[in-house]
Structures are given as C-alpha cells and as structure tokens.
C-alpha cells in the first residue's frame, strides 16, 4: 500500500498539493503525500457529520465488533507498522512494537471488555427523598464529530487511542496527523479500512497548522482531542472557546526524577536512563531533570555515564539499536542550542553534546553536570536525549526543585522507603507520579493520563478517555398519577408552613426535632398526599426518622 492519498469518506483521494516525507536516519525524502486543502476538510466534515447520525445510535455490540476487527488487523500488521514508524519517525523497531503497538492492543481490549460498562445508561437513585418517586437515569451521549490532532513523537499510539475512544463512544472522527509523520497517520486509515469500518466514521487529512485550525474552528466539529506543544494547545483552546467546544489537551513536560539517598541504584540507573532516553528523549513525559541526593551523587553520575556508554545509537531498523535519530533536524538544532547555552554558562558536558558527522538527525545521549535550576535546560522542554543532573541536600529541597516548573506531566521518585514515597508522591505537582519507574503508565488503561499546570487540560486513557468524549444527559421519568408536586405553585400560607416543617424534618441533626416536625406534617396530610407518595416516604422511614 502506497500511503500517499488522503482517506475521506471511505475513498483514497488525491489533492492539488503534495509534500515529501523524510527518513530521519538519512535525512533524505523517502516518499510523498497529498496535502489536504479546504475542499477536503469540507468533504471530510460533511461526511463525518452525516455518518454520526447513524453511528451515534449504533449498538455497543456493533462498536465492539469494529474494534475486534481492527484488533485482528493490527495484530497481523504489527511488523509492517513498526517498520514504518522506524522509517518515518525514527524510533527503533523493537521500541515501536513495545511502546506503540502493545498499548494499542491493550486499549482495544479494554474498550471491548469494559467500554460498555462505562457508557451504558446508568440508573441513579435520588438523594432527596421527595424525588424518590421518580426514576433517574444518566445517558452518555456522543459529542458528534471529533477532531483528533496529533504530534509526531508517537505517531501511531497517541492518535490511535484517541480514535478508538472516540469511535467507541459513538463519535465520528476527522484525524489530522502531524505533517512530519503523515504515512503512519494514513496507515491508521489503512488498518480501519482493512477492518471494514463503515464509510464516513473515520477520515484522515494530512496537513499542517492551517488544516488543524480549519478543523477546530468549523462549527461541525464538537470536540477536539489535541496532543502537542503548550503553545499550540493554548491556541487551540482560544480557537475552540467561542463555540465552547470540548477540548482535551495533552501537552508538553519537563519531568523530574528524584533519587533519594536510599535508592537502589542497580535499578535507578537503568530506569532513569530509559525514562530519559527512550524514543531518543522525544517523549512528553521524558525525564528531563534528575535531582540526586548529594550522598549518592558521585556514585550515580559514575554509574549512569557507564551505563549510557553501553547504549547503541544507530539505524532504528537494527534489532539491537537502543536509540534512533531525532525525528527532525529542527528538533536536533533546538536540543543542541540548549546544550551549548548550558555549556557556555558553565555546565560540564560529561557525555555527548556534539552533532555527529554522519547522515541523518542523530544526537548522542548527553549528560550535563554543574547545571543551574533557572537555566532553559532545566525550565524549557528539551525533547531530546539530554540528562542534566543536580544534587540536593534535603528532601524539602528536592520537592521544591521538582515543582519549580511551569509543567506538571509526570514525575518519579527512586527510593526503597514505601512510606516516604507515599508522602512525597502527594507533594509533587504532576498528573502521574511513579515510584521506581517512569512513564510506563502511558500503556495502562486504568491509569488516567494528563498533566497539571501547563501540561494540559483533562485526562485521557481508559474510562476517562470515554467520559471526555460524551455529554452527560440526565433523564428523569415520572409516571405517577399525582397532579402536583410539593414544590409547585401555589406559594400560599400552607406551603410556607409546610416548608417551615420540612427544614427540621429533613435536615435537623436533632432526632427529636425531626420527629416533632414529622408529626406536625399530619396537619397537612391531605395536601401532602396529593403531591408526594406517602408509600415512598414510608419506605424511607429509617432515613426520615434517623437522618
Ligand atoms: P505541535 O504543537 O507543533 O503540533 C501538534 C499538532 O498540532 C500537529 O499535528 C500540528 O500540525 C498541529 N497544529 C499546529 N498548529 C496548529 C494550529 N494553530 N491549529 C491546529 N493545529 C495545529 O507539537 P509537535 O511538535 O508535533 O509535538 C511535540 C509536542 O507534543 C511536545 O511539546 C510534547 O511534549 C507534546 N506531547 C504531549 C503528549 C502528552 O500526552 N501530554 C504526548 C506527546 C507529545
């Protein structure tokens, strides 16, 4: 399959514009893709709007069946997919299988097995006793057409999780992959096509900011699932604000790891190296700041540098490659500028820090010491294989340094002390805190994913993802023959006297006062009976009498 054309309304279409796609291992173009214009945006939205009229009423069985077919195709196509990810984005094939494909199958299974339980209409018993005559239900209704706008660092799993959550909750999707990784985006359409998705449910439009902007501002789009940088997230929120569209924002990070004096360095060293260097550091939740207790600082630095020396940087298609290239030349320049600025300001670069003389956008694992908390290196997202290390003397200081950031995506603590970890985890400003591991919970459907502060708005994954993609509707049913309710007109003297009794009867903490008020109601028996089921009140006598 060529993966050049856009996928709109079940068709692979060409447009008037084309753009090249690059292989970051060589820096050379390896193919082309068509780019969407306003005409294709309109065509996709028209089709998605029409399709949602039927898809929103589809049964859970039908939605499960679609995901089951996608699962079978993805399972079969996993090697082809991982190879394409390595080619276009640059992460090693092994890593693509582990961190892009496995979570995707797990999330499919989660929605297949648990999704209906989260989204099916739920009966709720009224809290207020006077409302207990009625039946109450919560319905979870799809938003409608949802735009999925994604970055290039996890070109498959990030949009894929958004798309399956959106489709399972009855929405239709227009997906815009990053223009840096369009072929992986189109591969998602290919998977769904092979899984025989009915036309109109999913569209894939290749394009940049302009296409994204057209989607966010179009009145037919009711929800935006955005993953990307803070600056673009803020812009998306502004664009979505006039129509008050549901907007889920998964943004950047500058995640800290704290190594306490009792840490098991046999685990902390390889764990932190993985958390910082996996995907060549291009993970929103990469470890980008390491704070180590001074008592273990030298030992940690020595062991980490020795460990990093064993890592293999190279062709992502080789099975033993640990780190591939960075995905973009511009990204490499940004990383290198930060390292150079730190070096110029006095940092010691003990590993890496130079652009290698080879084709492609490679950058070596880089370790910096003698860094300052206020430098860009410690405050601005690096998104590269760079590990700055700073010693601390007290736990309080470590927490203050970790929280001294505009971001709050994830954080990790490395210690042997469970109680201390439990206490400190609560004091870190982050959406996720992991003890003795990092970032793995992206692959866990039961773990909410998302950031505090500038790292985002809302939580995705598992049931939280589904709940972000629906409107809650409360439906109350009342088929009693009564002609009035206690709280309806007229507001006369009797009503006022009944209200004066209702306060102590329902809300007094004194049992005596409650009972006296309930007895007082006997005077209004006739009126009460007209508006409330006395049988229902009798059924709740215990709560009435005892509060
Ligand atoms: P980006 O913000 O440049 O682009 C993200 C997407 O938004 C792309 O598809 C882009 O074409 C589109 N876009 C750009 N301008 C737009 C506009 N004005 N209107 C609509 N769409 C627009 O981000 P990127 O460089 O592709 O990705 C890297 C960033 O993503 C990093 O900051 C990283 O931390 C973040 N990220 C966050 C998470 C998370 O889960 N929190 C996951 C992965 C990446």
- Give the pLDDT confidence of 219-257 residue by residue, as tens digits: 999 999 999 999 999 999 999 999 999 999 999 999 999
Determine phi and psi for 389, rounding to 5 degrees.
-125, 135
Mark whether 320 is an active-site residue.
no
Residue 448 lies in a domain: no
Residue 478 CB neighbours (<10 A): 11
Asked whether the whole model's pTM tops 0.95, one would answer yes
Q: Is residue 273 part of a domain?
A: yes
- To test the ligand 1 pocket, which listed residue (229, 233, 338, 452) has its Cβ within 8 A of the most ligand atoms? 229
| Distance separating alpha carbons of residues 53 and 532, to the nearest angstrom | 40
* 94 occurs within a structural domain: yes
Choose among 259, 265, 256, 211: nearest CA to 236.
211
Cα dihedral 282, 4, 80, 330, rounded to 10, equals -20
Q: Please report which helix (H) or strand (E) contains residue 369, including its range.
A: strand 366-369
Coil/strand/helix, residue 332: helix
The span from the CA of 116 to the CA of 113, in Å, is 8
Residue having the nearest C-alpha atom to atom 17 of ligand 1: 209
Single out the catalytic residue among 40, 88, 95, 284: 284
Q: List the CATH number of the domain containing 321.
A: 3.40.309.10
Residue 286 phi, psi (nearest 5): -60, 145
**Of all atoms in ligand 1, which is nearest to the CA of residue 216?**
20
| CB burial readout 301-339, b (16+ within 10 A) else e | bebbbeebeebebbbbeeeebbbbbbbbeebbebbbebb
Active-site residue (options: 88, 95, 250, 395): 250
Ligand 1 center to 539 CA (angstroms): 56
Compute the distance from residue 356 Cα to the ligand 1 centre, in Å.
27
Residue 451 placed within a domain: no
Residues 52 and 193 placed together within one structural domain of the fold: yes
Q: Work out which ligand 1 atom sits closest to the CA atom of 284.
A: 34
**What does the pLDDT look like over 411-440, one tens digit per residue?**
999 999 999 999 999 999 999 999 999 999
* Residue 171 and residue 151 share a domain: yes
> Which residues lie below 8 Å from residue 128, measured CB to CB, with a gap of 6+?
none
Task: Give, to the nearest 10 degrees, the angle between helix 395-403 and helix 418-427.
Answer: 40
Give residue 230 CA to ligand 1 midpoint distance, Å: 8
CATH of the domain at 180: 3.40.605.10
Report percent pLDDT > 70 for the chain: 100
| Per-residue pLDDT, 429 | 98
Is residue 450 situated within a structural domain? no
Element (H, E) at 350: strand 348-351
Question: Are 158 and 25 contained in the same domain?
Answer: yes
What residues make up the domain containing 84?
6-251+463-473
Task: From 228, 247, 380, 451, give the residue whose CB has the most ligand 1 atoms within 8 Å, as the site to mutate.
Answer: 228
**Close Cβ partners of 431 (under 8 Å, ≥ 6 residues apart):** 408, 409, 410, 448, 449, 450, 451, 452, 455, 456, 459
41 with 170, same domain: the answer is yes
**DSSP codes joined into one string, 252-274:** ---EEEEE-TT--HHHHHHHHHH
Does residue 484 fall inside a structural domain? no
16 and 116 co-located in one domain: yes
Is 156 within 8 Å of 190 (Cβ atoms)? Answer: no
Query: Are residues 221 and 99 part of one domain?
Result: yes
Buried b (16+ CB within 10 A) or exposed e, 86-113: bbbbbbbbbbbbebbbebbeebbebbbe
> Helix, strand or coil for residue 249?
strand
In a shared domain, residues 370 and 411: yes
Return the structure tokens found at 528: 């009460």
Q: What pLDDT score was predicted for residue 547?
A: 82
pLDDT of amino acid 464:
97
Q: Is the CB of 216 under 6 A from ligand 1?
A: yes
* Beta carbons of 248 and 227 less than 8 angstroms apart: no
Report CA(35)–ligand 1 centroid distance (Å).
Answer: 18
- Name the residue of 107, 151, 165 whose CB sits within 8 Å of the most ligand 1 atoms, as the mutation to test its pocket: 151
Q: Is the CB of 410 under 6 A from ligand 1?
A: no
Q: Are residues 222 and 259 in the same domain?
A: no
| Same domain, residue pair 279 and 421 | yes
DSSP for 106-137 reads: HHHHHHHHHHHHHHS-EEE--SSGGGTTSEEE
Mean pLDDT of the chain: 97
Per the document, the length of the chain is 547
Residues 425 and 284 in one domain: yes
Asked if the structure places residue 456 within a domain, the reply is no
284 in active site? yes
Residues 313 and 340 in one domain: yes
Q: Is the CB of 212 under 6 A from ligand 1?
A: yes
Any domain includes 447: no
Does the beta carbon of 379 lie inside 6 Å of ligand 1? no
Listed as ranges, residues in the chain with pLDDT below 70 are none
In what helix (H) or strand (E) does residue 545 lie, and over which residues does it extend? Answer: helix 541-546
Looking at the structure, tell me whether residues 157 and 273 fall in a common domain. no
**How much is the pLDDT for 5?**
98
Secondary structure (H, E, C), 306-320: HHHHCCCECCCCCCC
Number of domains in the chain: 3
């Amino acid at each position: 399959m060529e993966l050049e054309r856009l996928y709109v309304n079940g068709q692979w279409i060409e447009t008037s514009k084309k753009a090249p796609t690059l292989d970051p291992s060589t820096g050379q173009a390896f193919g082309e893709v068509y780019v969407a214009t306003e005409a294709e945006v309109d065509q996709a939205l028209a089709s998605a709007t029409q399709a949602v009229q039927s898809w929103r009423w589809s049964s859970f069985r039908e939605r499960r069946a679609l995901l089951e077919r996608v699962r079978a195709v993805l399972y079969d196509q996993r090697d082809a997919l991982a190879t394409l990810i390595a080619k276009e984005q640059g992460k090693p094939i092994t890593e693509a299988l582990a961190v892009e494909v496995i979570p995707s199958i797990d999330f499919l299974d989660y929605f297949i097995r648990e999704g209906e339980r989260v989204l099916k209409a739920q009966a709720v018993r009224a809290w207020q006793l006077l409302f207990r005559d009625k039946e109450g239900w919560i319905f979870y209704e799809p938003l409608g057409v949802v735009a999925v706008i994604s970055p290039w660092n996890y070109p498959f799993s990030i949009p894929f999780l958004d798309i399956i959550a959106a489709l399972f909750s009855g929405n239709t999707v227009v997906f815009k992959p990053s223009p840096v990784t369009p072929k992986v985006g189109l591969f998602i359409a290919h998977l769904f096509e092979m899984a025989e998705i009915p036309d109109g449910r999913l569209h894939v439009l290749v394009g940049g900011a302009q296409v994204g902007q057209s989607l966010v501002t179009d009145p037919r789009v009711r929800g935006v699932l955005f993953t990307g940088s803070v600056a673009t997230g803020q812009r998306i929120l502004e664009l979505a604000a006039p129509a008050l569209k549901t907007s889920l924002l998964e943004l950047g990070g500058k995640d800290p790891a704290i190594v306490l004096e009792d840490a098991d360095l046999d685990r902390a060293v390889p764990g932190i190296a993985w958390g910082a260097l996996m995907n060549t550091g291009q993970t929103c939740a990469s470890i980008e700041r390491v704070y180590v207790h001074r008592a273990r600082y030298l030992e940690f630095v020595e062991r980490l540098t020795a460990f990093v020396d064993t890592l293999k940087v190279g062709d992502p298609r080789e099975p033993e490659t640990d780190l591939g290239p960075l995905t973009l030349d511009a990204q490499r320049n940004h990383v290198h500028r930060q390292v150079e600025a730190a070096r110029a300001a006095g940092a010691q670069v003990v590993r890496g820090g130079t652009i290698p003389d080879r084709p492609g956008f490679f950058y070596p694992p880089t370790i910096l010491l003698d860094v300052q908390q206020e430098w860009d290196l410690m405050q601005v997202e690096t998104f590269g294989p760079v590990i700055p290390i700073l010693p601390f003397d007290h736990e309080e200081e470590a927490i203050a340094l970790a929280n001294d950031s505009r971001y709050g995506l994830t954080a990790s603590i490395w210690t042997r002390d469970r109680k201390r970890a439990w206490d400190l985890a609560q004091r870190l400003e982050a959406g996720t805190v992991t003890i003795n591991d990092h970032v793995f919970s992206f692959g866990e459907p039961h773990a909410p994913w998302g950031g505090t502060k500038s790292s985002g708005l809302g939580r995705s994954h598992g049931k939280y993802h589904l709940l972000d993609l629906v409107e809650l509707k409360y439906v109350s049913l009342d088929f009693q023959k009564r002609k009035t309710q206690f709280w309806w007109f007229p507001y006369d003297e009797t009503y006022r006297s009944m209200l004066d009794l209702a306060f102590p009867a329902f809300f007094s903490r004194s049992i005596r006062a409650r009972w006296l008020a309930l007895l007082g109601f006997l005077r209004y028996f006739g009126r009460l009976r007209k508006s409330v089921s006395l049988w229902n009140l009798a059924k709740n006598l215990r709560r009435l009498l005892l509060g």
